[in-house]
A and B are shown apart, each in its own frame.
Chain A
Amino acid sequence: MAGITVTQAAFSLSDIVKIFPGVRALDRASLEVRPGEVHGLIGENGAGKSTVIKVLAGVCQPDSGTIIVGGQRIASATPAGVHSAGVRFIHQELHLVPHFTVTESVFMGQELHGSLGLARRKMRRLAEAFLRDNLGLDISGNRLIRDLGTAERKLVQVARALIDGAAKAVIFDEPTAPLANEEIEMVMQAIARLKAQGIAILYVSHYLSEITDICDRVTVYRQGRTVGVFDEISDASAGELIYAMIGREISDMFPNKGARATGEGLVVDGLSDGAHFDSVSLTVGKGRILGIAGLIGSGREELIDTIYGLRRKTAGSLRFDGETLQVATAAQAVAQGIVLVPRDRRNDGLVLPMTVAENATLATLEANSRAGLIDARAVGDATTALIDSLDIRPPNVDAVTRLLSGGNQQKVVLARWLAADARVFLFDEPTVGVDVGAKAEIYQLIEDLATKGASVILSSSDPVELLGVCDQIVVMMRGRVAGEVAASDVSVDNLVAAITGAAMVEGFANAR
């Protein structure tokens, strides 16, 4: 090589390729983070952000590409090697022991010893000093983790990664997802302090407003590729970033919206669960599809669970056509015609070792029984009809659901509720892990439900899906309804801007 290029990067990854069975998770992705900068990494779900972090951490070996840490090329990264090179990871999960003290948590796995056992006093002094001086958190080392707020816990987690003083680069993975608005500032200030010490910071987040606030440079991934590196970031950058992230048009995989029934349908009034969301009000008329958009931690999942009776509500009420619904358990929800197609269909939606017929009729065994005994023929007939109408493949009532594809499994979940004759359908991320063809079929099924007069709620992290399927979209942000808009009145860019908090967009009615 002619001459040695002096790299000023704390670490860099170039042209990383990582192929999982059937998926090119990373397709020549690159990333370069310099000392003393906060570098943002953004992209939609599945763009390759988590995979690139795993590659850097040495948890996942790339198929090709170059990794350079601190000027040294690393042939094959191992977790221990990367750690000793000074790269630290702040995972999204806190991974703290609730009944440990702050001191014990900070020094977990790296406890200090004196001549007479643990040097508890010294560890406490060091932990308190580190938290105060480096992260701006003045707290007693004797407090228990379970008595701390989420932001304080986050900073304890950061302190654990940095207490040895050898950190040169820190990767924050969605650090603010579980935090309330007023707590975010604490974490932001801590990151600013680390930056001032010359530490390189990679900041991975879905919250574009945070990215434009805190980052000096931003790398954007789409479908495993680097589609842009932005050097000058200001509040005005959000539009460019969103365009780089989405980069696609609404495809023709969505059904045409048909004529809709009328009627008040489901009204959710001032619903709260006391922790994840507060005073949420929604109306889903008969024959309407309401989308719920929001980031992880927006309270979207918990809202759906609460409407279905899986979580206890602390305030608010549910009505259907003016009649108040009592939903304290899922059994009550089903009895009153509210059904859920859950996000984790493999664990919550299906009994995998059972057959299609058994799963499809699980909620309607009463109707298919005579004198307390299950009528096998009735079950078979009912299932055959459902298999026909949903086009479940293979069209075999005795097929074991474990062996079905993701899309067909989802149809079996749906079949159960069609059999149960529900009037409100809740869909929570119905197309995660489903291939494109099956997605289109599921969208058509949702549209059919609405055409037949059901009230449908679709909670999804895919903005394109929401726009393509829904009539109306509610955006949730940190537990509250941030706005509501007709799907026909908003573009993907504007919807993403609203979801990520980059901007409050015209056309959005403000929260009630």
Chain B
Amino acid sequence: MRAEARLSAWLSDLVGYLPLAILIGVLAYISLNAPNFLTLRNLELVLMQSLPVVLVCAGLAVVVMAGGDDVVSGGIDLSIPATAVLSAGITAQMLTLGYPLALCAVAALVACLVVGVINAALVSRIGMTPLLTTLAMFVAVVGVNNVVTASRRINVDHPWILALREAEIGGMPLGIVLVVMIVGTLFVAAHQTRWGLNLQAAGGSRDAAEISGINPGRLVGQSFVVAAVTGFVCGFFVLARGSGSSPGVQDNLMLEMVLATFLGAAFSPRRVVTLWGAVLGAVLVAAISIGFKSMGVNVFWTGLIKGSLIVVVVAFSAMAQRGR
């Protein structure tokens, strides 16, 4: 009986590593077929491209840690990409109207915080399911952004925003340095502080947390606010990457965010969603997108492949959980 249990644990470990193995296989295939893929120049491009996804993934990781990693009933925040697009839309529109950047940023931050607080209230006060709540918020916030921007593209050429893409600091691109600092701060908060451990306890077992004197509802609420702030910051990187705000960015961002964050669980030795796992996942997913592009794969096919990868990742993580 014991030996069987060990075998099944070992098998579920193996299954847990499969998504990672599949991704590495895909990357290997790309680098064989697109010779320029593994150059330093290209890898920097991959990193730069991945920055917006990295930020929203970090936010989602915090929410999943607080709410638990059950994709349906646990913690999830699908509205982060919409928050990012709203942050970008408000900033772009106000810059066009001639407001100073600082004021635009404050307005965008306030708007994003409102979204975060509404999510928090609906989930931890009223007790709605995070999946439905944040999906509804996603739709509503994208709607608000369409009103703000009149659903059209707005160019932005503010030097500070373009600096996120072009400036360098000590030989490193400024954008990468800033994101590393932000993610580093979140990492310390989520993995090296009491707050972070309590957050993980709340997500790991709500009852256990409650019995230990932790207030899981409050932590879940806080995680949504943190996520909204990462959405706010992400908005500026969206502006920098696209030289402005354009409608529709949120869809791809959401897809890659969910894929990368849950993929990240495969990197963690404990097989749970972690901050650094999510960030690594985001970079890998960006690498695949760019890789397919440089191989000349049709954009439509890229969507199908990414969608299938989500299914595979979630299926394997469910199988790995069941083996436990």
Taking CB atoms and an 8 Å cut-off, the chain B residues in 250-297 that contact chain A are 270-272
CA distance A98 to B1 in the complex (A): 20
Interface residue A160 (Cβ < 8 Å from any Cβ of B): yes
Interface residue B208 (Cβ < 8 Å from any Cβ of A): yes
- Identity of the chain B residue whose Cβ is nearest the Cβ of A97 in the assembled complex: B204
- The smallest C-beta distance from B180 to any residue of chain A, in angstroms, reads 19
- Identity of the chain B residue whose Cβ is nearest the Cβ of A100 in the assembled complex: B204
3 closest Cβ pairs, A-B complex: A97-B204, A109-B212, A95-B208
CA distance A117 to B207 in the complex (A): 25
CA distance A499 to B204 in the complex (A): 36
Query: Can you sample 14 A-B contacts with CB below 8 Å?
Result: A97-B204, A99-B270, A100-B200, A104-B197, A108-B208, A108-B212, A109-B201, A109-B214, A113-B194, A117-B188, A118-B193, A144-B270, A147-B9, A278-B1
**B204 contacts which chain A residues (CB < 8 A)?**
97-100
Q: A98–B212 contact, CB under 8 A?
A: no
**A97 contacts which chain B residues (CB < 8 A)?**
200-201, 204-205, 208-209
Most B Cβ at <10 Å: residue of A91, A96, A100, A109: A109
Taking CB atoms and an 8 Å cut-off, the chain B residues in 1-38 that contact chain A are 1, 4, 9
Interface residue B324 (Cβ < 8 Å from any Cβ of A): yes
Interface residue B185 (Cβ < 8 Å from any Cβ of A): no
**B207 contacts which chain A residues (CB < 8 A)?**
93, 95
Interface residue B198 (Cβ < 8 Å from any Cβ of A): yes
CA distance A274 to B1 in the complex (A): 6
**A109 contacts which chain B residues (CB < 8 A)?**
198, 201, 209, 212-214
**B209 contacts which chain A residues (CB < 8 A)?**
97, 108-109
Decide: A275 near B212, CB < 8 A? Known: A99-B271, A109-B198, A109-B201. Answer: no
Interface residue A396 (Cβ < 8 Å from any Cβ of B): no
Interface residue A146 (Cβ < 8 Å from any Cβ of B): yes
Q: A91–B208 contact, CB under 8 A?
A: no
Say which size band chain B's interface belongs to.
20 to 34
Interface residue A332 (Cβ < 8 Å from any Cβ of B): no
Decide: A95 near B205, CB < 8 A? Known: A100-B200, A111-B194. Answer: yes
Interface residue B39 (Cβ < 8 Å from any Cβ of A): no
Interface residue B169 (Cβ < 8 Å from any Cβ of A): no
- The smallest C-beta distance from B58 to any residue of chain A, in angstroms, reads 18
Interface residue B192 (Cβ < 8 Å from any Cβ of A): yes
- The smallest C-beta distance from B280 to any residue of chain A, in angstroms, reads 18
Contact of B197 among A99, A118, A314 (CB under 8 A): A118
- Identity of the chain B residue whose Cβ is nearest the Cβ of A104 in the assembled complex: B197
**A275 contacts which chain B residues (CB < 8 A)?**
1
CA distance A117 to B184 in the complex (A): 14
Most B Cβ at <10 Å: residue of A95, A105, A160, A275: A95
Taking CB atoms and an 8 Å cut-off, the chain A residues in 106-121 that contact chain B are 108-111, 113, 117-118
Q: A110–B1 contact, CB under 8 A?
A: no
- The smallest C-beta distance from B288 to any residue of chain A, in angstroms, reads 27
Most A Cβ at <10 Å: residue of B192, B194, B214: B194
Query: 4 new A-B pairs (CB below 8 Å) besides A99-B272, A144-B270, A160-B212?
Result: A98-B204, A98-B205, A109-B201, A118-B192
- The smallest C-beta distance from B35 to any residue of chain A, in angstroms, reads 41
- The smallest C-beta distance from B3 to any residue of chain A, in angstroms, reads 11
- Identity of the chain A residue whose Cβ is nearest the Cβ of B193 in the assembled complex: A117
**B201 contacts which chain A residues (CB < 8 A)?**
97, 100, 104, 108-109
Decide: A118 near B194, CB < 8 A? Known: A95-B211, A100-B200, A274-B4. Answer: yes
CA distance A117 to B193 in the complex (A): 5
- Identity of the chain A residue whose Cβ is nearest the Cβ of B192 in the assembled complex: A117
Decide: A108 near B192, CB < 8 A? Known: A99-B270, A146-B324. Answer: no
- The smallest C-beta distance from B47 to any residue of chain A, in angstroms, reads 27
**B200 contacts which chain A residues (CB < 8 A)?**
97, 100, 104
Decide: A96 near B208, CB < 8 A? Known: A110-B213, A118-B192, A146-B324. Answer: yes
